[in-house]
Amino acid sequence: MKTRVDPGLCTGDEVCTQVCPEIFEMRGDKAIAKIEEVPHDLKQCAKDAADSCPSQAIIIEE
Ligand code: SF4
């Protein structure tokens, strides 16, 4: 599973970095996925962050 943030949609509200700091971090005023290839034990964390993102800016690719 891979994940990334669409910088065009991200509003920088930092929700994902609070829900799943293992994967998402702020880079300036946008979030990025610091790990793009999501390890098995962090899949739920990444999905929870995507579900929590109010802008649907987090892309998950199975
Ligand atoms: S939750 Fe979504 S909009 Fe907010 S910082 Fe993360 S990717 Fe950006």
Q: What is the pLDDT of residues 11-24, one digit of tens each?
A: 999 999 999 999 99
Task: Say if ligand 1 is within 6 A of residue 33 CB.
Answer: no
Fold of 2-61: Alpha-Beta Plaits (3.30.70)
Task: Say if ligand 1 is within 6 A of residue 18 CB.
Answer: no
Q: What is the pLDDT of residues 23-52, one digit of tens each?
A: 999 999 999 999 989 999 999 999 999 999
CA gap 31, 37 in Å, rounded:
16
pLDDT value for 62: 86
CA gap 11, 1 in Å, rounded:
24
**Residue-range domain boundaries for the chain:** 2-61
CA gap 53, 20 in Å, rounded:
11
